[in-house]
Amino acid sequence: MSALIDYHKLSLSDRDVAFMREALKEAVKAAQEDEVPVGAVLVVNQKIVSRGHNQVELLQDATAHAEMICLTAGAAALGNWRLSEAMLYCTLEPCCMCAGAMLSSRLKRLVWAAPDLRLGANGSWIDVFASKHPMTEIEIANGVLKDEAADLMRAFFQKQRKKPGS
């Protein structure tokens, strides 16, 4: 989190943009590590408590998504798996696994950037959040910095297709 920005003084939409920019920084890290460029930040009281980016290739673990890493790190930082006051900003629509983890964590709010037509679980493929959950309800916003996130994904996969043996 940049010390130059007082997130408390920003409007909700401006905060969403500012925190999504932080998630995009994580996505860039993933791309630099030859991972699918997805990033996430977990925010409580306008403060970033954890960050994550995809590490599937590094860890050889299909569950090492940016959101999962960020939720796990956030729960550890807060000393509580219940993230009922937390907001998660991620650069890609969550998959079923990540959506389930968000519900299990009792996340307060989810903000995502670009849709995932292949695995998106907030309406692009299926909508895990459509049915009322018995324990929690997550407020969801989407499309925040959608073009920047989509451009990052597009550039990454164009580069991947140009690699020898692709």
CB neighbour list of residue 61: distance below 8 Å, 6 or more residues apart: 55
Assigned token pair, 150:
């989509």
Whole-angstrom Cα distance, residue 55 to residue 61?
A: 8
Distances (CA, A) of 19 to 8, 42, 44, 125, 126: 12, 9, 11, 26, 26
Question: Exposure of 79 by Cβ count < 10 A (0-12 exposed, 13-18 middle, 19+ buried)?
Answer: exposed
Residue in 67, 85, 137, 148 annotated catalytic: 67
Strands 109-114 and 39-44: unpaired
Q: Is 67 a catalytic residue?
A: yes
CB neighbour list of residue 45: distance below 8 Å, 6 or more residues apart: 85
Which residues are the active-site residues?
Answer: 67
